[in-house]
Amino acid sequence: MFEKILTEQNKQWVGASSETGFLRDKIKEILLYANKRQILVITGIRRCGKSYLLKQIIQHLLQNKIHKKNILFLNLEQPSFDEVREKVVYLDKIFEEFMSLTEPSGNVFLFLDEVQFFHNWQVFVKAKYETEQVKFFLTGSNSWLLSSEYATMLSGRTIHFELFPFSFREFLQTKKIDGNNRILLASNQRAIKKAFQEYVSWGGFPEVLLTEGEEQKKELLINYYNTIVYRDVIPRFHIVNIRQTQELAHYLISNPGKICSYNQLSKTLGLSDKTVKEYIKYFSQAYLLFEVSKYSNSLKKQLVNPKKIYVSDIGFTKALGFSSTEDSGRILENCVFIELKRRKKEVYYHNENKECDFVVREARKIVQAIQVCQVLHKENKDREIKGLLDAMKIYNLKEGLILTEDQEEIIKEEKCSIHVIPVWKWLLS
């Protein structure tokens, strides 16, 4: 029943190699657990490269003497599964056909790509994990993949990774520039800066960056956005206010890094506070947007204070929102935020006496303060420095960071050191 789709998706069985794309930085971390018992779960926005990452892991296994017939890859989003995805028993049937077809010996490595498309997939995974020698690699395009309903059933059995679109370092790989070689970086700054301008214009989606032509890039990004909204958000959460959902998403995508309250957004869009809060949560679960809270020692205050909203990939702002010279600082700010997320930092914004774009917390303590602006000049220098210093004083920090488009210096203020660094250089640090 499933032999055709099995063989189509597993070319390694006949010795053919799959296109694996550029090697992702995340793979080093994941491969540390490739031979561990736990289920590895990789989540991230659609089209950020999760499928290619799985294929890179498969290639690694093959190179390390895992027999090709012990590996099963399934993209569960494929239309071939449309008629059976509502009954989890069909996952068992697919697995049985695989076992019969390849007759693997020893441990089986099972890759389920976009696993959320199969109803009650966790029942199948838990059963096979507990009764057979199966190592699972799962991907999903929604953070609710590990929400309470699934986490409870798979509690203690999973290790979770988040994948984002290309980092700037990974993007440089596509330009054949080694972002790890400091000597080459120092001698090749013109090419790096040019690449950075492309990166902050179009974001990090692999296919977008590798596509020629602005109209083609824009069309891809619009298609990604529509797929997320119309396949991952609206049907999943049974949304009926489709027009207002679109208006909210467009507003937030057009205003990355802007402080806004649910009440303010509800008045602007004619939705209730509760609905705005729910819709933003849905966008976040689909990795379209991220919320950042104002830092406070009180969790209650964090919950009620206005939020900053950032876009998962700044290319969406280029394709769907609007951008101007005045927005360039926020574009850079959004890039910095995504990199902080990529580095697994716990991020807040600071706004007591003055505003500071980011403060980073580790072990219940603020350890870093970061300000972002396009250019540090006489009109904004005092404001940017005072905002940073306000955070540094409150959290007892001796050093602070201002990230700009292309400036570099050290500023001494009130016995504190403020390091001004180009964003592109910080992204490669």
The per-residue DSSP string of 282-325 comes to HHHHTTSEEEEEBP-S-HHHHHHS-EEEEESSTHHHHHHS---G
Q: Is the pLDDT at 386 greater than 60, yes or no?
A: yes
Average pLDDT (190-194) is 94
**Strand segments (E) across 168-313:** 259-260, 289-293, 307-311
Average pLDDT over residues 39-68: 95
**Residue matched to tokens 């849905």:** 282
> What is the band of 150 on the pLDDT scale with cuts at 50, 70, 90?
low
User: How crowded is residue 162: how many other Cβ atoms within 10 Å of its Cβ?
Assistant: 16
Q: Residue 294: pLDDT band by 50, 70, 90 thresholds?
A: very high
List, in order, residues 6 or more apart from 381 with CB less than 8 Å away: none
- Of all residues in the chain, what percent carry a pLDDT higher than 90? 84
- Window from 186-200, 228-242, 319-333 with minimum mean pLDDT: 319-333
* CA distance linking residue 359 with residue 345, whole number of Å: 10
Report strand pairing: 355-362 vs 365-372: antiparallel
What average pLDDT does the segment 62-89 reach? 96
Give the lowest-confidence range in 102-116, 159-173, 306-320, 321-335: 321-335
The tens digit of pLDDT for each residue in 388-424 reads: 999 999 999 999 999 999 999 999 998 999 999 999 9
CA atoms within a 13 Å half-sphere pointing along the CA-CB vector of 247: 12
Mean pLDDT across the chain, nearest whole number?
93
Q: What does the alpha-carbon distance between residue 14 and residue 69 come to, in Å, rounded to a whole number?
A: 9
Quick check: helix, strand or coil at residue 390? helix
CB under 8 Å to 97, separation ≥6 — which residues? 1, 2, 3, 6
Q: What are phi and psi of 418, to 5 degrees?
A: -115, 115
Mean pLDDT of 213-217: 96
pLDDT of 148 > 60? The answer is no
Three-state DSSP class for residue 241: coil
**225-229 mean pLDDT:** 96
Q: Over range 374-386, report the average pLDDT.
A: 95
Residue 234 has pLDDT above 80, yes or no: yes
Mean pLDDT on 353-369: 97
pLDDT at residue 325, as a whole number:
45
CATH code of the domain made up of 3-162: 3.40.50.300
Maximum CA pair distance of the chain?
A: 73
Residue 147: pLDDT band (50, 70, 90) is low
* 94-105 pLDDT, tens digit each: 999 999 999 999
211-323 shares the fold of 3-162: no
Confidence (pLDDT) at 214: 95
Query: Residue 32, SS3?
Result: coil
Q: What is the structure's pLDDT at 193?
A: 95
Structure tokens at 52: 């290619």
Domain residue spans of the chain:
3-162, 211-323, 324-429
pLDDT at residue 254 in the model:
93
> Span 16-42, mean pLDDT?
91
Q: Tell me how far the alpha carbon of residue 43 is from its chain's centroid.
A: 8
Q: Check residue 326 and give its pLDDT.
A: 53
Q: The domain 211-323 is classified under which CATH number: 3.40.50.300, 1.10.10.410, 3.20.20.140, 1.10.10.10? A: 1.10.10.10
